[in-house]
Amino acid sequence: MIANAADNSVMDDWLGRNLRRATSAVFNNFGEEFAQFKIRPALFAVLTLIESHPGSSGARLSELLEIPRANMVLLLRELEQRHLIEREPDPANRRAHIVLLTPQGAALMPKLHAAQARHNEHTERWMTPEERRFLIALLQRIWRRAGEIEPGL
């Protein structure tokens, strides 16, 4: 009865639970930092991708982000309605659109990158560069392994 929420020591060793809670904590801080811009993680990823790959098609962007095309459509529509991106017909392929940042969108990017820097500072301040590299490397091994055939025993 005196037990508190910290006595579930077994579950605190579960990798999946620790991953989920860490993800939630990081995304919550992202939300606080980006709330003033009404930009969610997925929107920031798409904007950053368009900034570094201007003129890509929606299908190409969905490949790069590794999300279904149908979901990219929703994100691009939202960004277009907010006048942060524009879609032009691609003269070389009349099925496709060319996606670009509007001047408004381009002007917003430096503010978003600054918010990201504050977000990183908040969530990573207590990590050494070595710890961060090690953490990222382990996380990448986890999700990259998942797409592979059964690893050799």
Partner DNA sequence: TATTGTTATACTCTATAACTATA
Partner DNA sequence: TATAGTTATAGAGTATAACAATA
Of 34 and 84, CB closest to a copy of itself:
34
Sole binder of DNA in the list 10, 70, 138, 153 (CB under 7 A): 70
Query: 62 and 69 in contact (C-beta within 8 Å)?
Result: yes
Q: Which is nearer to DNA, 67 or 100 (CB)?
A: 67
**CB-based contacts of 78, cutoff 8 Å, min separation 6:** 43
Which of a copy of itself, DNA, none is residue 95 near (CB under 5 to 8 Å by kind)?
Answer: DNA
The window from 28-36, 74-82, 88-96, 97-105 that contacts a copy of itself (CB under 8 A) reads 28-36
- Taking CB within 5 to 8 Å according to partner kind, which of a copy of itself, DNA, none is near residue 83? none
By the rule CB under 7 A, 55 interacts with DNA: no
What are the backbone dihedrals phi and psi of residue 33, each rounded to the nearest 5 degrees, phi first?
-70, -30
The residue from 47, 57, 79, 101 that contacts DNA (CB under 7 A) is 57
- Nearest residue to 115 (alpha-carbon basis) of 4, 45, 60, 37: 37
Cβ-proximal residues to 26 (8 Å cutoff; 6+ apart), any chain: 123
Helix (H), strand (E) at residue 85? strand 85-90
Q: From the CB of 99, what's the least distance to DNA, in Å?
A: 7
| 116 C-beta neighbours (distance < 10 Å), count | 15
Residues in the site for DNA, rule: CB under 7 A?
Answer: 20, 24, 40-42, 57-60, 67-74, 76-77, 87, 93-97
